Amino acid sequence: MKQIDLTIDGTPVTVAEGTTVFDAARIHGISIPVLCHQQNERPAGVCRVCSVDCGEKVLQASCVRPAENGMKVQTDSEKVRKARRMIVELLMSDHPSPCARQRHSGDCELETIAKAEGIGAPRFAKRISPRGQDDSSLVISVDHEACILCDRCIRGCDEIRHNNVLGRGGKGYGAGIAFDLNLPMGNSSCVSCGECMVSCPTGALTNKSVVRTVLPNGVPVAVEELKQLPYFQNVSGTFLELNANAVIKRHFKAGEIICREGDYGSTAFFILEGKVEIFLSTPMAHVSTDGGASGFIRKLTSRLTGADRQKPDRDRPRSISIDASVDLAYDNPVAELGEGDLFGEMTCMSMYPRSATVRASTDCVMLEMLRNVLDVIQRNKTLREKLEANYRKRALDDHLRTVPLFSSLSPEFIESLASKAELVRLSNGDVICRQGEVADAFYLVRIGFVKITEEHPGGDLVLAYLGKGGYFGEIGLLANGLRTATVTALDHVELVRIDGADFMEMLTRFPAIARELTAVAREREQQNSRHMAAVTGISLDSFLTQGLMESNSLLLIDLDKCTRCDNCVRACADAHDGVTRLIREGLRFDNYLVATSCRQCRDPLCMVGCPVGSIRRRNSLEIVIEDWCVGCGLCAQNCPYGNINMHPFEVMVKDLAQPGGQKAVVKPKATSCDLCADHAEPSCVYACPHDAAHRVEPNQFFKVYAETKIAERDSPATVRDLTAAKQTGTIARSPHPRDPRSAH
Amino acid sequence: MIFDELRAIQHKHGYLPAEPLRALSKQLDVPLYRINGVAEFYPEFHTSPPPKLRIEVCRDMACHLRGADRLIADLRQRFLPLGKQVVEVHERSCLGQCDCAPALTINEILFRNVNVRQAEILVQTGLAGLEMSKQSAARPAIELKSDPYPGIQRYGALRQLFETRDWDGVISTLKAAGLGGMGGAGFPTSIKWDVVKKAPGPDKYLVVNADESEPGTFKDRFIMTHLPHLVIEGAIIGALVTGAKTGYIYIRHEYREQEAILREELEYCRSEGLLGDHILGSDLAFHLDVFVSPGGYICGEGSAQLEAIEGKRAEPRHKPPNSATHGLWMKPTVLNNVETFANVPQILARGVEWFKSQGNHEAASGLKFVAVSGDVQRPGVFEIPMGLPLSDVVFGLAGGPRDGRKIKAFSPSGAASGYQPASKLDTRLDFKSMSAAGTMLGSGAIVVLDDSRCILDMALNSVTFFRNESCGKCVPCRVGSAKMTDVLTGWTRGKGVAADLELIADLSETMKQTSICGLGQFVPYPILTALQNFREEIEAHILHAKCPAGVCPMRGHGMVR
């Protein structure tokens, strides 16, 4: 190779042709300050801090300037120093000094150079337009204010790791680093390999040091060992060291319980070796509503009421969704997971209670991890493919078939839909689709909860919360191709996205489905217009402020008629195994008492977070707690009106310690008014001897009420009686056959 | 072509929504960050839904002199209350219509010579959903000395060259004529072509830089309108001489009229066999097409232009190596200005002697198109003998200052050339004379200021232009131009301090020394020349918080932007 002779700061130097001035100097022990260049990356020459005098008209960035024969380089002349100082001063004038990196480890490269150059308070005014922070990633914190656009992270992401997520966005003074289409980092296709953060010279990309806790009961895993695992292979070592406390290795003996349903947790498990059994240990127990007058007898037998006694349900699922890559069969809620399986994702990401009990069926080795590490491996392309494949194989088919419309599809078609499905990750607050936008896809919920709302003048109306296995988007694809509602992620959500084109192909191939969908869409539209007519017709301040408008059904007691005999409470207890779900207390409205009893809210907050999806809305309006409730109590916590109670039930369960044996345990279960779904009328209403208790649909009731009030004002003789409302057919469960799971 | 794909998406949706961009990423197998990088970089693309009317008013030199600020303020006051779904009013960089200032676009339709009242009527017409009356694009036939083919068959030089096939002769002829680059640098064309010709390898390219975007510059617009055949003939000759097989005319997207003219002329050439696989029936091939720039002054920088043609962000490359050896797709590339190419057939058709005799004096050769705008009676493009004194152009051809005004200063070649005092108007317009007078000929874009103007106001206007147009690649230009704008804005608001003078001097030196490309290196020129020639006036702002011309807002007027 040709040799090049040049002098640097007076010293003769010989280097191979193609060597940059920067490297030529470095090889000969002369270090040139620089920010945008590091040895493992292709030089970019953008910070200009390494500018040197090569005897030309202008200074040259030494990191990109090839050495030339006879070149005389000055790396530290007055001219060079002045230029360098000015560049550093310019950068410092917009730098949030001390930046996160300087605060944590005192080694922000910009601030270090500034100090070395003796730059005090910059003479320029700070940038006015903020560039902002991005906290969306679980593991890396982005502070755009501290970014100097050295492009080191960009080269790390695209050229070293080939992840191709990071680039420059914007232009000029408004330029900045951007993930994918300038998304928040956490929503981008970033795999959290950490390379950008390791490359960053300032506090613009730093490790989120939220995780200081050392997970108990396990062995910390060495970085080298983690890097052997395919899912950590492409992750920066420094980055893994920074997160060392957040992942441990645990060994379980066969038979050992790994986690229990209903427990709160914050970790996920990844099976390295062995097999586990995942099951619901709480039996399918449900409070019977066969009662009535013979409540006492019923109470005696209630403990034994199991799944077999459940009435043939209208829409009971074939399987129960849990926080793993499998579903449990309703009849036999047990499944097996093995090497390479992941469970506890939802608990880990969104702190929901565990949905099932997991027991080692052989000796097992697991990685237990906190959400930042889970996020890293979930973003790993290899693992994602595996998770997606598992999901497709084990649960997608089931989930697709819960969509009534799909039940008639041929297995091949379901398979082809499944193969085209794409998994999408979202975080809290992300809007998945917006009312009025063009509908382009159909979605199934794999993990997490979404909220479905309709925009109306005066506020949004929550149509439903959907958890795992829920679906949405089919209506929008049909209803002239526009979204009829807005869907928002409530926590960490993963969705299965089926492209609109594939969906439409289905409709062409199965015209019966198209007809059915169109009918549903039309019906929904009619309902909505009826509903809105009712809502807009009334305005009663106190009624609204008490949140009553938010309910679908209220238990009202007319205090003028009520003698406080408590027959309603007793009837409720009789109907529900001696446990009343009604308390004759609560908010008052005029001469009515709004009894503390499930209001069947329009915005049923209780449904959010149920780890097994046992609290849900049926096709009619009532909110029911299905018999596979694991008793975690989250819904009771969530209900803003205190209308859900946890009641202990004594049940016989398999004795885990003693194979084949049984033992009696006390299990809590959530209870709430179920509107005595199996009777013509709620027991409380039926039992009231004074015609004081009524279940009413608030909109219609208050419409009548308001009319009555107006009539009364105009003519005091008008009878102020609820019978008026009764005659209009608004009493009790007004039929409202909207399927809340089906929307948009 | 990624820009064409993005244009198709934008045409369909009105902007660039995420979903089709994702689809495009898959289709082209290009990462999302790269699509976002260009979508956010170029002003032609919009990543958010457009309002009903998007009004963009040119804010630069000539339009600034003709009341663009007032126009913008008035339109904002009148129409912004309608909401941003209805109307947006933006500042826009020079549209190249300096002779018809102020200019604006409404939904990308160009309107020139627009006063406040006309603008309001236009917007109201647009809001009512009616068609805004387009200004006529009449193109009167003008006889120009530069055209060697008045009334005779065009492309004569090219046909003649085909008979001799003396490619080397072309280079020596250009050398003898002393043709220099007309984009402003004046670099000898013969040397550039020779380097490309001698560079090894079969793949070479040719690019016609028709991206003139410097405030005050619009002579290429004129040349492309009236002499498109000379530009194309020069390009074909350049390709045949150097061995380039593919060429692009890189034209700014705002020059729709000229784009159409060029496309028409290219079609004619193809039909005449002057372009294609077998030029004039020979085995020589050259394909030339129009490449429409998605916008931005930086695209006029040669290496940035090549990046743009490659579908990337137009960020200038590090030099060396130069584009002659490492150009488009890193292959040897001829890159010249429109006017340079237009000169080639003139020289070949009429000879070196004719070319030299066109100059106004010994040291000046050929004809030059100069664009005059600002405070003159007849702004426009003039064809002059190289070496004509500036005063002949400004007072003679352009009619001198407006009634009752005197000329105070002029900018010899747009924003980057800074401001010279009227006393230098006797300088001859050629590379050597201008350089000797301490200024430059540049691209011949003369912007004239009369005595009602504030030199600081104009310097700030120019520096702000550069800040707006900086690509952001390197620190000195990205941050330096912003900080310089801040400091000068402070001066116009009476917030200057004496120490600022040293600060600006230091900053200027660093920007000149360390910026990657000419844009960054020239950012300081407006204020440096202003300080050099009008120091008292500037110091009055800083030290006494007074604007002698009464133009700057000085104290008590708003915040520093």
CATH number of the CATH domain containing B113: 3.40.30.10
Q: Identity (one letter) of the amino acid at B523?
A: V
A531 vs A565: which has the higher pLDDT? A565
Considering the domain architecture, whether residues B170 and B252 belong to the same structural domain is answered as yes
- Out of B479, B481, B513, the one facing A51 most closely (by C-beta) is B513
d(CA A59, CA A49): 11
Structural domain of B463: 455-544
Residues 6+ apart with CB under 8 A from A697: A552, A553, A730, A734, A736
pLDDT band of B521, cuts 50, 70, 90: very high
pLDDT at A658 over 80: no
d(CA B45, CA B50): 11
Whether A509 is covered by a domain: the verdict is: yes
Which pLDDT value is given to residue A421? Answer: 80
- Is the CB of A90 less than 8 angstroms away from the CB of B476? yes
- How far B47 CA sits from the closest chain A CA (Å)? 10
Whether B153 is covered by a domain: the verdict is: no
- Please name the residue of chain B whose CA is at the shortest distance from the CA of residue A68: B320
Considering the domain architecture, whether residues A494 and A551 belong to the same structural domain is answered as no
pLDDT band of A739, cuts 50, 70, 90: very low
Q: Which residues of B touch A94 (CB under 8 A)?
A: 479
Considering the domain architecture, whether residues A543 and A663 belong to the same structural domain is answered as yes
Whether B360 is covered by a domain: the verdict is: no
Sign of CA dihedral A431, A433, A434, A438: positive
Which pLDDT value is given to residue A511? Answer: 78
ipTM above 0.85, yes or no: yes
Mean pLDDT of A416-444: 82
- Out of B36, B512, B560, the one facing A169 most closely (by C-beta) is B36
Considering the domain architecture, whether residues B83 and B121 belong to the same structural domain is answered as yes
- Please name the residue of chain B whose CA is at the shortest distance from the CA of residue A94: B479
To test the contact with chain B by mutation, choose from A119, A168, A432 the residue with the greatest count of B C-beta atoms within 10 A, namely A168
Whether B555 is covered by a domain: the verdict is: no
Which pLDDT value is given to residue A266? Answer: 81
Count: domains in chain B: 5
Considering the domain architecture, whether residues B187 and B91 belong to the same structural domain is answered as no
Residues 6+ apart with CB under 8 A from B273: B279, B280, B281
DSSP code for A710:
H
pLDDT digits (tens, 9 = 90+) for A95-121: 999 999 999 889 999 999 999 999 989
Which pLDDT value is given to residue A291? Answer: 39
Considering the domain architecture, whether residues A571 and A474 belong to the same structural domain is answered as no
Q: Which of residues 501-530 of B touch A (CB under 8 A)?
A: 503, 506-507, 509-510, 512-516, 521
Considering the domain architecture, whether residues B382 and B522 belong to the same structural domain is answered as no
Which of B101, B127, B153 terminates a domain? The answer is: B127
Q: Parallel, antiparallel, or unpaired: how do β-strands A257-259 and A357-360 relate?
A: antiparallel
Q: Which of residues 191-250 of B touch A (CB under 8 A)?
A: none
B225: domain CATH number is 3.40.50.11540
Q: Which residues of A touch B487 (CB under 8 A)?
A: 124
Whether A27 is covered by a domain: the verdict is: yes
Q: Are B383 and B223 in contact (CB under 8 A)?
A: no
Mean pLDDT of B194-211: 96
A423: domain CATH number is 2.60.120.10
Six-digit token string for A260: 């229990």
Q: Which residues of B touch A82 (CB under 8 A)?
A: 506, 509-510
Which pLDDT value is given to residue A318? Answer: 67
Which of B417, B450, B483 terminates a domain? The answer is: B450
Q: What is the mean pLDDT of chain A?
A: 79
- Is the CB of A164 less than 8 angstroms away from the CB of B31? yes
Considering the domain architecture, whether residues A482 and A564 belong to the same structural domain is answered as no
Which pLDDT value is given to residue A408? Answer: 67
Whether B358 is covered by a domain: the verdict is: no
Considering the domain architecture, whether residues B223 and B252 belong to the same structural domain is answered as yes
Q: Which residues of A touch B560 (CB under 8 A)?
A: 125
Which pLDDT value is given to residue A540? Answer: 45
The residues that bridge with A247 in the sheet, in sequence order, are A369
B43 vs A416: which has the higher pLDDT? B43
- Out of A46, A65, A167, the one facing B473 most closely (by C-beta) is A46
Q: Give every strand in the sheet of B420-421, ordered side by side.
A: B380-385, B367-374, B445-450, B407-411, B420-421
Considering the domain architecture, whether residues B290 and B422 belong to the same structural domain is answered as no
Residues 6+ apart with CB under 8 A from A700: A534, A725, A728, A730, A734
b/e map A463-492, b = 16+ CB within 10 Å? bbbbbbbbbbbbbbbbbeeebbbbbbbbbb
Considering the domain architecture, whether residues A524 and A549 belong to the same structural domain is answered as no
Which of A534, A554, A573 terminates a domain? The answer is: A534
- Out of B31, B41, B510, the one facing A87 most closely (by C-beta) is B510
- Please name the residue of chain B whose CA is at the shortest distance from the CA of residue A176: B472
- Is the CB of B33 less than 8 angstroms away from the CB of A127? no
Of B244, B301, B300, B304, the C-alpha closest to B275 is B244
Whether B558 is covered by a domain: the verdict is: no
Which of A482, A503, A534 terminates a domain? The answer is: A534
Considering the domain architecture, whether residues A459 and A557 belong to the same structural domain is answered as no
Whether B147 is covered by a domain: the verdict is: no
Considering the domain architecture, whether residues B539 and B467 belong to the same structural domain is answered as yes
Which pLDDT value is given to residue A325? Answer: 77
pLDDT at B196 over 70: yes
User: Chain A to chain B, count of Cβ pairs less than 8 Å apart?
Assistant: 146
- Out of B18, B318, B480, the one facing A45 most closely (by C-beta) is B318
To test the contact with chain A by mutation, choose from B9, B40, B312 the residue with the greatest count of A C-beta atoms within 10 A, namely B40
- Is the CB of A46 less than 8 angstroms away from the CB of B22? no
- Out of B37, B476, B490, the one facing A48 most closely (by C-beta) is B476
Considering the domain architecture, whether residues A529 and A542 belong to the same structural domain is answered as no
A20: phi then psi, degrees, rounded to nearest 5: -80, 160
Whether B138 is covered by a domain: the verdict is: no
Is B560 in CB contact (< 8 Å) with chain A? yes
The residues that bridge with A336 in the sheet, in sequence order, are A277
- Is the CB of B318 less than 8 angstroms away from the CB of A61? yes
SS3 for B46?
coil
Considering the domain architecture, whether residues A496 and A597 belong to the same structural domain is answered as no
Q: Which residues of A touch B514 (CB under 8 A)?
A: 48, 51, 58-59, 61, 83, 87
pLDDT band of A602, cuts 50, 70, 90: low
Q: Give every strand in the sheet of B333-337, ordered side by side.
A: B287-293, B246-252, B205-210, B333-337
- Is the CB of B33 less than 8 angstroms away from the CB of A59? no
- Out of A172, A180, A440, the one facing B33 most closely (by C-beta) is A180
Q: Which residues of A touch B47 (CB under 8 A)?
A: 182
pLDDT at B155 over 80: yes
pLDDT band of B333, cuts 50, 70, 90: very high
- How far B295 CA sits from the closest chain A CA (Å)? 12
pLDDT digits (tens, 9 = 90+) for A371-394: 888 888 888 777 778 777 777 777
Per cent of chain A over pLDDT 90 is 28
Count: domains in chain A: 3
Which of A492, A516, A534 terminates a domain? The answer is: A534
Is B30 in CB contact (< 8 Å) with chain A? no
Which pLDDT value is given to residue A628? Answer: 80
Compute the CA torsion angle A360, A361, A367, A370 (nearest 10 deg): -40
- Is the CB of A123 less than 8 angstroms away from the CB of B503? yes
HSE, CB side, 13 Å, CA atoms: give it for residue B351: 3
Which pLDDT value is given to residue A513? Answer: 73
Which pLDDT value is given to residue A347? Answer: 81
- Is the CB of B33 less than 8 angstroms away from the CB of A165? yes
Whether A148 is covered by a domain: the verdict is: no
pLDDT digits (tens, 9 = 90+) for B237-293: 999 999 999 999 999 999 999 999 999 999 999 999 999 999 999 999 999 999 999
Considering the domain architecture, whether residues A584 and A633 belong to the same structural domain is answered as yes
Of A400, A263, A283, the C-alpha closest to A332 is A283
d(CA A624, CA A232): 43
pLDDT at A434 over 90: no
Of B296, B4, B24, the C-alpha closest to A180 is B24
- Is the CB of A181 less than 8 angstroms away from the CB of B19? no
Structural domain of A708: 538-727
Which pLDDT value is given to residue B526? Answer: 97
pLDDT at A715 over 80: no
- Is the CB of B469 less than 8 angstroms away from the CB of A172? yes
pLDDT digits (tens, 9 = 90+) for A239-266: 888 877 788 889 999 999 999 888 878 8
d(CA A471, CA B559): 52
Q: Which residues of B touch A61 (CB under 8 A)?
A: 318, 514, 516
Whether A522 is covered by a domain: the verdict is: yes
- Is the CB of B313 less than 8 angstroms away from the CB of A124? no
Considering the domain architecture, whether residues B191 and B248 belong to the same structural domain is answered as yes
Which pLDDT value is given to residue A494? Answer: 84
- How far B328 CA sits from the closest chain A CA (Å)? 19
- Is the CB of B475 less than 8 angstroms away from the CB of A59? no
Q: Which long-range contacts (CB under 8 A, 24 or more apart) does B197-204 make?
A: B197/B167, B197/B171, B197/B241, B197/B242, B197/B243, B199/B324, B199/B325, B199/B332, B201/B331, B201/B332, B202/B243, B202/B245, B203/B245, B203/B329, B203/B331, B203/B332, B204/B242, B204/B243, B204/B244, B204/B245, B204/B331, B204/B332, B204/B333, B204/B334
- Is the CB of A47 less than 8 angstroms away from the CB of B474? yes
Considering the domain architecture, whether residues B269 and B389 belong to the same structural domain is answered as no
- Is the CB of B318 less than 8 angstroms away from the CB of A87? no
Considering the domain architecture, whether residues A572 and A651 belong to the same structural domain is answered as yes
Whether A199 is covered by a domain: the verdict is: no
- Please name the residue of chain B whose CA is at the shortest distance from the CA of residue A61: B514
Considering the domain architecture, whether residues B173 and B314 belong to the same structural domain is answered as yes
- Please name the residue of chain B whose CA is at the shortest distance from the CA of residue A164: B31
Helices first, then strands: H and E counts in chain A: 23, 37
The residues that bridge with A445 in the sheet, in sequence order, are A495
Q: Which residues of B touch A164 (CB under 8 A)?
A: 31-33
Considering the domain architecture, whether residues B284 and B193 belong to the same structural domain is answered as yes
By residue count, chain B amounts to 561
d(CA A562, CA A688): 9
Whether B434 is covered by a domain: the verdict is: yes
Six-digit token string for B499: 């120490």
- Is the CB of B296 less than 8 angstroms away from the CB of A171? yes
Considering the domain architecture, whether residues A23 and A57 belong to the same structural domain is answered as yes
- Is the CB of A93 less than 8 angstroms away from the CB of B479? yes
d(CA B557, CA B493): 7
Is B18 in CB contact (< 8 Å) with chain A? yes
- How far B486 CA sits from the closest chain A CA (Å)? 8
Whether A74 is covered by a domain: the verdict is: yes
Which pLDDT value is given to residue B484? Answer: 98
B465: domain CATH number is 1.20.1440.230
pLDDT band of A316, cuts 50, 70, 90: low
Six-digit token string for B404: 């009752």
Q: Which of A458-462, A646-650, B522-526 has the lowest mean pLDDT?
A: A458-462
Q: Which residues of A touch B21 (CB under 8 A)?
A: 181
Whether A589 is covered by a domain: the verdict is: yes
Which pLDDT value is given to residue A530? Answer: 58
pLDDT digits (tens, 9 = 90+) for B427-484: 999 999 999 999 999 999 999 999 999 999 999 999 999 999 999 999 999 999 999 9
- The tokens 């079969």 sit on which residue? B202
pTM score:
0.79
Cis bond upstream, residue B102 (ω within 30): yes
Considering the domain architecture, whether residues B314 and B399 belong to the same structural domain is answered as no
Considering the domain architecture, whether residues A507 and A542 belong to the same structural domain is answered as no
Q: Which of A140-154, A429-443, B223-237, B525-539 has the lowest mean pLDDT?
A: A429-443
Whether A208 is covered by a domain: the verdict is: no
- Is the CB of A178 less than 8 angstroms away from the CB of B37? yes
